[in-house]
Amino acid sequence: MSETLKVPTMAEYMAQGKSPEVLFWVGCAGSFDDRAKKITKAFARILNKANVDFAVLGAEESCTGDPAKRAGNEFLFQMQAVTNIEVLNGYDIKKIVTACPHCFNTLKNEYPSLGGNYDVVHHTQFLKSLLDDGRLTVEGGKFKGKRITFHDPCYLGRANGVYEAPRDLLRKLDVELVEMRKCKTNGLCCGAGGAQMFKEPEPGNKDVNIERTEQALEVKPDVIAAGCPFCNTMMTDGIKGKEKEDSIEVMDIAEMIASAEEL
Q: Which of 51, 137, 186, 247 binds another protein (CB under 8 A)?
A: 186
Examine residue 110 and tell whether it contacts another protein (CB under 8 A).
Answer: yes
212 binding another protein? (CB under 8 A): yes
> Judging by beta carbons within 10 Å of its beta carbon (0-12, 13-18, 19+), is residue 104 exposed, middle or buried?
buried
Size of the site for another protein (CB under 8 A): 75
> Does residue 224 interact with another protein by CB under 8 A?
no
Q: Is 3 in the site for another protein (CB under 8 A)?
A: no
Q: Please tell me whether residue 18 adopts helix, strand or coil conformation.
A: coil
Per CB under 8 A, 207 contacts another protein: yes
Closer of 127 and 156 to another protein (Cβ):
156
CB of 5 to another protein, least distance (A): 6
C-alpha 253/C-alpha 164 separation (Å) is: 13
C-beta separation of 160 from 138 below 8 A: no
Beta bridge partners of 97: 24, 121
Whole-angstrom distance, CA of residue 40 vs CA of residue 60: 17
Q: Which is nearer to another protein, 26 or 175 (CB)?
A: 26
- Do residues 143 and 150 lie in contact, with contact meaning Cβ atoms separated by under 8 Å? no
Indicate whether 191 belongs to the interface with another protein (CB under 8 A).
yes
Is residue 259 involved in binding another protein (CB under 8 A)? no
**128 close to 55: Cβ distance less than 8 angstroms:** no
CA distances to 40, 56, 117, 187 from 130, in Å: 17, 19, 23, 27
Site for another protein in 73-92 (CB under 8 A): 73-76, 78-80, 82-83, 86
Stretch 4-43 residues interacting with another protein (CB under 8 A): 5, 7, 9, 26, 28, 30-33, 37, 40-41
Binding segment for another protein (CB under 8 A), chosen from 101-109, 170-178, 217-225, 235-243, is: 101-109
Per CB under 8 A, does 242 bind another protein? Answer: no
- Say which amino acid occupies 112: P
Angle between helices 253-260 and 34-49 (to 10 degrees): 50
Strand order in the sheet with 223-226: 176-177, 147-150, 223-226, 249-252
Q: Is 151 in the site for another protein (CB under 8 A)?
A: no
200 binds another protein (CB under 8 A): yes
For another protein, give the closer residue by CB, 188 or 256: 188
Which residues inside 47-76 make contact with another protein, applying CB under 8 A?
56-59, 61-63, 65, 67-76
